[in-house]
Copies of this chain bind each other. A is one copy, B any other.
């Protein structure tokens, strides 16, 4: 059984590491910056000091960090993973970061004789806790097969989509569809409500046809019932759409509705909604129309 080094025991990472410990994997983390979560230590989490030390002790390194700069720091900064790697080890980045930076990171890790997988997830904190994450992987087939037993402890709908960077590209594509579908449902419900229709009945009628989606079901209901506790925070979705728009510029792609939807997220943040669920996007349209769906 591979020994797992886990870097990033936050809201997502901690329950994920817990599942791996539960499954019997030896899991190692670094306590050089702060003490390790007590519940994980109780389950057998081992401590070393520094990401380089984690890399030395583990066969597979899993990273789950907030953004591209932190991922760069964890890999290549002081006491970084790269300093502790040896040929044959595998780096699996499950963070959601830049697809373009990922190709560069993968090349630099490959140069050390190690495979790299980008394997971002969707499903959020709820999915992480329930081990029901969707995992979108990019990298070599052999690396994917090696990581697959680990992934199977963390989620379902596990897909190798392509080479390095393609996992992150797929995650960005996912976040484009999710944000723009939330925006679509919000436009429809604000329109219908201001026209005098009951938005709950409209949602119900639409669920039977071509407009049906997970978003209409889950986020449509949130908009109507005004349950904007996260869920998935607007400030995180802003980060994902920033990756989409940055990528669009670099690739020469036009994403008109992604661009506008990001502006609506900006408006939500300006009005104190950064930490609300992304279904709170509806409030930006409500303010524009001086009318609440509820």
Contact = CB atoms under 8 A, between A and B. Distances in A.
A191 interface: yes
Number of copies: 2
Contact of A161 (B194, B205, B215): B205
Contact of A178 (B162, B173, B197, B211): B211
A243 B111 CA distance: 58
Contact of A184 (B163, B184, B209, B290): B184
Contacts of A99: 195
B184 A181 contact: yes
A84 interface: no
Interface stretch (A7-15, A17-25, A65-73, A253-261): A253-261
Nearest to A201: B161
Interface stretch (A27-35, A55-63, A244-252): A244-252
Interface stretch (A46-54, A74-82, A164-172): A164-172
Contacts of A239: none
B205 A136 contact: yes
Given A169-B192, A210-B214, A211-B174, A159 B205 contact: yes
A204 B256 contact: no
A290 B215 CA distance: 30
Given A177-B188, A180-B180, A247 B195 contact: yes
Contacts of A166: 195-198
B255 A206 contact: no
A172 B258 CA distance: 22
A103 to B, nearest CB: 9
Contact of A255 (B191, B204, B213, B261): B191
A38 to B, nearest CB: 32
Interface in A179-238: 179-181, 183-185, 187-192, 194-198, 201-202, 204-206, 208-216, 218
A279 to B, nearest CB: 11
A288 interface: yes
A36 to B, nearest CB: 30
Contact of A289 (B136, B201, B254): B254
A126 to B, nearest CB: 11
Given A181-B181, A256-B264, A208 B162 contact: no
A85 interface: no
A134 interface: yes
Contacts of A163: 196
B257 A174 contact: no
13 contacts: A134-B208, A170-B202, A170-B205, A172-B192, A173-B206, A176-B184, A178-B211, A180-B183, A181-B213, A184-B257, A191-B251, A212-B214, A253-B285
